[in-house]
Amino acid sequence: MTDTTSSPQGESAGPARRPLTISPHLAKRYARERLFRTLGLASVATAGLILLVLVGSIVSKGYSAFWLHHVDLTIEFSVDELNPDGGPIEMETLQKANYLGLVRDALKREFPDAASDRRERRKLYGLVSPNADIMLRNMVLNDPSLVGTTQTVSFKMSDDMDTFAKGFIDRDLPESDRRVTDAEIKWHDHFEAEGRVHVAFNIDFFTKGDSREPEEAGIYGALIGSILTLTVTLLVSFPVGVMAAVYLEEFAPKNRFTDLIEVNINNLAAVPSIVFGLLGLAVFLNFFGLPRSAPLAGGLVLALMTLPTIIIASRSALKAVPPSIREAALGLGASPLQVVTHHVLPLAMPGILTGTIIGMAQALGETAPLLMIGMVAFIVDVPQGFTDPATVLPVQVYIWADSPERAFVEKTSAAIMVLLGFLVLMNAIAVLLRKRFERRW
Amino acid sequence: MTFSFGKVVAIAALGVVAMTAQAEARDQIRIVGSSTVFPFATVVAENFGKTTGFKTPVIESTGSGGGLKLFCQGVGTEHPDMTNASRRIKKSEVELCAENGVTDITEIKIGFDGIVLANSKSSDTFKLSRAQIFLALAKEVPVDGKLVANPYTNWSQIDASLPDTEIEVLGPPPTSGTRDAFVELVMEEGAEEIPFLKDLKKSDKNKFKQVFGSMREDGKFIEAGENDNLIVQKLEANPSALGIFGFSFLDQNADKVHGSVIEGNSPTFDAIAGGSYPVSRSLYFYIKNAHVGVIPGMKEYVAEFTSEKAAGQEGYLTDKGLIPLPTADLESYRSAGENLTNLSL
């Protein structure tokens, strides 16, 4: 016996006393153990490597979406253009003024040669984002004293120029093979040489809704949509799921009927999510008349989908509470309801919360059931409430991935990063809650 | 007890919400329909929302057929106001609409979309005829006066002028409007150029339909899903493969892929606009006239879509890859939109 232990005495006396017949067998056992450990380590390493490749490819494609190139233009806020009728300047005139003309004039002044050819002129106007005029209008409306002055204003570059400035378009390719023409490269180099091109954090990505112009598109609308939808899901599925689990686990008689319910719940957990979407379309939209594309309807559909997960997780958490706790409480005169609410539920809460958050995380990533109820849509306005049209983060990823413009590739990856960040946050909350409530006995 | 109580609460809450939701009038245009028109309609919607005081319309990408089905469900704020389509409305759909009380529909044609057969820039451009494409992709082809399962594995077996590489074509699934258009514009036309099938068309129309409508299922034609970006990526990785997708994706990826020459014409902007490139289709949207005046902004949206600065020869939609209508046609559709001219098939 002593020869296999690691105690110093055993080791010193060991080899001499070990029967010779055991050692080959022992070596084999050690070898097997080593092999098993290596295989285990290898599988962990493989999983880690795959995760690394996945995250690495997303980050390497998407990191560039967090900044944009801007170009400084000298804008003359000319009185003739902004207040053509003369007289005192009124807000209404400023509202309707031709701001696009200001931007175009500035570009024409910069490159007078390009302004002659129609096609080239269009390209020239396309150097800056199509929203440049809206930006100028807001500037002037905020500060009417700008009228009549000349200012240097920083504009977002259009998506193609931004992609070029980021170095994703090879300037050595023949002109027909790239999205930017020789003239555009020349213009870009002119600005670059004068130090008027600069990089800025893409704040709009986090504060705006969707857009068909990649440089204007933001994730905020989808993020709010996801939050609204998940709020509805949580408010419906958590109470219903926990109540169902408590009843089934603590109160329901064990008979064929409750067995049937249990089997059905387990089966529901495996039903493809698109089926819940069809159900939602038939019940919530067609029967109850909920508005299409609304977080309310989406949240209810996702709640149906998450319910089985929550019920199953809650039941196993309740099952894990030792019977001695219940018996002790009953023995001290607590009613069955008091046993559950005072003792069993608090003890089971960490497990229930973990299950709920896993269910929520699943719901966060769903697009299929939302397709049926109209949440896979192009929505510019950021939703203000539960009945406004909204979309969710994974749908935004899907829509951007499907867009022809090249600059949406980086947006897609950036949206995935936001989605993953949201997921990590939710899981972190789950871990935190578990740590906070966990009790050992 | 607890379980049923929870359910009752949930259902009661639902009922209350449902009633309040229905009482609310809608002040935002809702559009459904084709995924091909989606990239164009969304740009118009965004510009419309930006430049007018109206809310930005909500646009869903449901496919042409799915969109028309939703559109024809009835009149009322719970139904969409317009639908986009990458093909013309069918007679059966007009009848379905009429059954549900949607009798006044205005048709607007917005432009053309070319369907291209493209491959990676690292290999040579293909020069194909529609008959050759049919022979490469149909499930059954005529050999020695008999229909047999497609025996061709390499392009050179179809015609000696084609390269000696394996046939491998990535295309859209049957649910896609692009697939419908491809079958109609390439497979059907190609089949008609083959004398044996031309005779078959005369003797057995249904069989003919089945022959040109069935793509081969032995791995030479691969359904690559609705995502055209994915097809472009796969073509880049696999230089011997061809892919089928819309012109706007070729336009955006000119550095990675090039379009095959079909019947002697390259898929360029001018060739599609001029009608010499044979594989192009018209894009439409349909207006539910009964909703005009009920949902604010519908007329203005139509005016924006048919305006010179959107769908004109130099409009912003051409930047997104739409092939514009001839000016006269655009004008006639613009006035149709203003007067809500009823659709006539």
Whether residues A244 and A117 share a domain: the answer is: no
For A391-415, give one letter per residue: b (16+ CB within 10 A) or e. bbbbbbbbbbbbbbbbbbbbbbbbb
- The shortest CB-CB distance from B18 to any of A290, A376, A404 is to A290
Which candidate in B8, B38, B46 is best for mutational testing of the A interface (most A CBs within 10 A)? B46
Under a CB-based contact definition with an 8 Å cutoff, are residues B31 and B58 in contact? yes
| Count of beta carbons in the 10 Å neighbourhood of residue A116 | 8
CA–CA separation, A381 and B46 (whole Å) = 10
* Interface confidence (ipTM) of the complex: 0.78
pLDDT in tens, A414-433: 999 999 999 999 889 888 88
Chain B CA closest to residue A405: B252
Q: Answer whether A293 sits within 8 Å of B251, measured CB to CB.
A: no
CA–CA separation, A33 and A27 (whole Å) = 10
For B287-304, what is the mean pLDDT? Answer: 93
* pLDDT for the residue B200: 87
pLDDT in tens, B168-212: 999 888 767 788 888 989 999 998 888 888 888 888 888 888 888
Q: Is A174 exposed, middle or buried (0-12, 13-18, 19+ CB in 10 A)?
A: exposed
CA–CA separation, B302 and B149 (whole Å) = 49
Whether residues A285 and A374 share a domain: the answer is: yes
Q: Answer whether A300 sits within 8 Å of B14, measured CB to CB.
A: yes
Q: Answer whether B255 sits within 8 Å of A240, measured CB to CB.
A: no
- The shortest CB-CB distance from A293 to any of B58, B61, B319 is to B58
Q: Is A307 exposed, middle or buried (0-12, 13-18, 19+ CB in 10 A)?
A: buried
A313 inside domain: yes
Q: Answer whether B253 sits within 8 Å of A240, measured CB to CB.
A: no
**Whole-prediction pTM value?**
0.82
Residues of chain B contacting residue A379, judged by C-beta atoms under 8 Å apart: 56, 58
Q: Answer whether B45 sits within 8 Å of A403, measured CB to CB.
A: no
DSSP summary character for residue A146: G
Whether residues A182 and A291 share a domain: the answer is: no
Q: Where are the beta strands (DSSP E) in B186-327?
A: 221-223, 242-246, 257-259, 261-262, 280-288
Of A176-185, A332-341, A357-366, B59-68, the one with minimum mean pLDDT is A176-185
* pLDDT for the residue B178: 80
Q: Answer whether B10 sits within 8 Å of A236, measured CB to CB.
A: yes
Q: Which residue range is the domain that position A43 belongs to?
A: 2-62
For A56-66, what is the mean pLDDT? Answer: 92
Chain B CA closest to residue A244: B3
Q: Is the Cα torsion angle B317, B26, B67, A419 positive or negative in sign?
A: positive
* Residue ending a domain, choose from A62, A80, A113: A62
The pLDDT-based confidence of B5 (bands split at 50, 70, 90) is very low
* Residue ending a domain, choose from A35, A62, A89: A62
The pLDDT-based confidence of A440 (bands split at 50, 70, 90) is low
Answer yes or no: is pLDDT of A82 > 70. Answer: yes
Helix (H, G, I), strand (E, B) or coil at A248: helix
If one counts the domains in chain A, the total is: 3
Residues of chain A contacting residue B5, judged by C-beta atoms under 8 Å apart: 243
* Residue ending a domain, choose from A207, A230, A253: A207
Whether residues A84 and A170 share a domain: the answer is: yes
Q: Answer whether A378 sits within 8 Å of B253, measured CB to CB.
A: no
Please give the mean pLDDT across all residues of chain A. 87
* pLDDT for the residue A141: 85
Chain B CA closest to residue A412: B229
A216 inside domain: no
A394 inside domain: yes
Q: Answer whether B45 sits within 8 Å of A239, measured CB to CB.
A: no
Please give the mean pLDDT across all residues of chain B. 86
pLDDT in tens, A248-298: 999 989 899 999 999 999 998 888 989 999 999 999 988 898 888 999 999
CA–CA separation, A423 and A417 (whole Å) = 10
Q: Answer whether A387 sits within 8 Å of B24, measured CB to CB.
A: yes
Q: How far is A329 from chain B (nearest CA, A)?
A: 21
A215 inside domain: no
Whether residues A83 and A228 share a domain: the answer is: no
At which residue do the structure tokens 């939209």 appear? A285
A214 inside domain: no
Q: Answer whether B316 sits within 8 Å of A176, measured CB to CB.
A: no
CA–CA separation, B260 and A169 (whole Å) = 24
Residues of chain A contacting residue B46, judged by C-beta atoms under 8 Å apart: 211-213, 380
A254 inside domain: yes
Angle between helices B298-305 and B38-51 (to 10 degrees): 120
Q: Answer whether A248 sits within 8 Å of B1, measured CB to CB.
A: no
* pLDDT for the residue B66: 87
- The shortest CB-CB distance from B227 to any of A296, A300, A402 is to A402
- The shortest CB-CB distance from B45 to any of A178, A376, A378 is to A378
Q: Answer whether A404 sits within 8 Å of B320, measured CB to CB.
A: yes
Q: Answer whether B3 sits within 8 Å of A293, measured CB to CB.
A: no
CA–CA separation, A238 and A299 (whole Å) = 12
Which candidate in B5, B7, B14, B17 is best for mutational testing of the A interface (most A CBs within 10 A)? B17
Whether residues A353 and A297 share a domain: the answer is: yes
Answer yes or no: is pLDDT of B319 > 70. Answer: yes
Q: CA separation (Å) from A158 to A71, A126, A215, A407?
A: 10, 7, 7, 10
Q: Answer whether A289 sits within 8 Å of B78, measured CB to CB.
A: yes
Chain B CA closest to residue A245: B3
For A65-78, what is the mean pLDDT? Answer: 90
Residues of chain B contacting residue A374, judged by C-beta atoms under 8 Å apart: 60
Whether residues A122 and A37 share a domain: the answer is: no
Q: Answer whether B49 sits within 8 Å of A293, measured CB to CB.
A: no
For B234-241, what is the mean pLDDT? Answer: 90
Q: Answer whether B254 sits within 8 Å of A178, measured CB to CB.
A: yes
Whether residues A262 and A279 share a domain: the answer is: yes
Whether residues A161 and A79 share a domain: the answer is: yes
Whether residues A179 and A203 share a domain: the answer is: yes
Answer yes or no: is pLDDT of B326 > 50. Answer: yes
Q: How far is A99 from chain B (nearest CA, A)?
A: 12
Whether residues A277 and A320 share a domain: the answer is: yes
Q: Answer whether A244 sits within 8 Å of B255, measured CB to CB.
A: no
* pLDDT for the residue A3: 46
Quote the longest CA-to-CA distance of chain B: 78
- Cα angle A56, A408, A73; round to 5: 115
Which candidate in A164, A292, A371 is best for mutational testing of the B interface (most B CBs within 10 A)? A292
* pLDDT for the residue B14: 53
Residues of chain B contacting residue A211, judged by C-beta atoms under 8 Å apart: 46
Which candidate in B58, B70, B252, B320 is best for mutational testing of the A interface (most A CBs within 10 A)? B58
Answer yes or no: is pLDDT of A4 > 50. Answer: no
**Which CATH number covers residue A227?**
1.10.3720.10
Q: How far is B278 from chain A (nearest CA, A)?
A: 23
Whether residues A87 and A184 share a domain: the answer is: yes
pLDDT in tens, B62-118: 888 889 999 999 998 889 999 999 888 989 999 999 999 999 999 999 999 889 999
Q: HSE-up of A405 (CA within 13 Å, CB side)?
A: 26
Closest CA to B32 of A372, A329, A333, A176: A372
pLDDT in tens, A166-191: 888 888 888 877 888 888 898 999 99
Interface A–B counts its CB contacts (< 8 A) at 121
Q: Which domains does chain B have, with CATH numbers?
A: 26-113+281-339 (3.40.190.10), 114-280 (3.40.190.10)
A212 inside domain: no
